[in-house]
Chains A and B, each alone.
Chain A
Amino acid sequence: MPMEISEVRTDTHLRVSPSGRLDATTSPALQEKLLGLIEAGDRRMVIDFSELDYVSSAGLRVILIVAKRLKSTGGALALCCMKPHIKEVFDIAGFSAMLSIHPTQEEAVSALK
């Protein structure tokens, strides 16, 4: 089942919205997409989780890789709009303390500044 990834680019940041499942079979595509965007010059990114129903550790790994890559290029990443059980996965993994995670898009965008 392919995962759809939509992008909205503003003059301050790029917002990416993957939909469906972020698991072992779909996360490579997201990783490729996001690392490609960073390679092409994007530095301020919001990942919107509102359309995701499922995130496994494969998804967590992609987020971690992207976060590290952005940080090392002087960029910024913010995550938003997670459903409660997905937020819980990030909490359990200790990612909530390490990453910029917000309930809304507006807060995520503000956090990029």
Chain B
Amino acid sequence: MTGQMEIRAKNDLSEIERVSQFATEFGERVGLPERIIFAMNLALEEILVNIINYGYEDGGVHDIRVRLAIDGAGALVIEVEDDARPFDPTSMPDVDLEQSLEDRNIGGLGIHLVRTLFDDFEYHRREPHGNLLVLKKREPGATQPDV
């Protein structure tokens, strides 16, 4: 893994913009096209919102770590690691795109976007406590793999 950058965010929705700025800077530094930076920010928001809203019962402050890198094969790799209770978003059912307006459910859209925008989306349980999500986009068009 070359040029990995990490940011730590608190479990608060107001942190999302800071993470987004970090991701945008990383993307610009490695020469990612704008639409990939946009996809990265969308995915990060989805994942962080889920962790922040559903991950903790104690009302306390927790760290969430976001790591971004371009790997040896030129793929964009995003890792989000937390110490929250077990939650595997990759196991959520997919959205039914055939439904009409009246029948459409509001939930599940965010994960659907992540699945569509990224090639790989993996969940790993962290022991003794926490979750790790790994997203990969192969051939994102980075021009400078070494940060």
Contacts and interface: CB of A to CB of B under 8 A. Distances in A.
Interface of A: 1, 21, 23-25, 54, 56-58, 60-61, 64-65, 67-68, 71, 84-85, 88-89, 92-94, 97-99
A99 B97 CA distance: 13
Interface stretch (B59-67, B79-87, B110-118, B119-127): B110-118
Given A54-B41, A89-B42, A24 B16 contact: yes
Contacts, number: 65
Tell me the interface secondary structure of chain A in the complex.
helix
B16 A61 contact: no
Interface of B: 13-14, 16-17, 34-35, 38, 41-42, 45-46, 49, 95, 97-98, 100-102, 104, 106, 109-110, 112-113, 116-117
Given A24-B13, A85-B38, 15 more contacts: A1-B17, A21-B17, A23-B45, A24-B45, A24-B49, A25-B13, A56-B42, A56-B45, A56-B113, A57-B42, A68-B101, A71-B101, A84-B35, A88-B35, A93-B112
A60 B104 CA distance: 12
A57 B34 contact: no
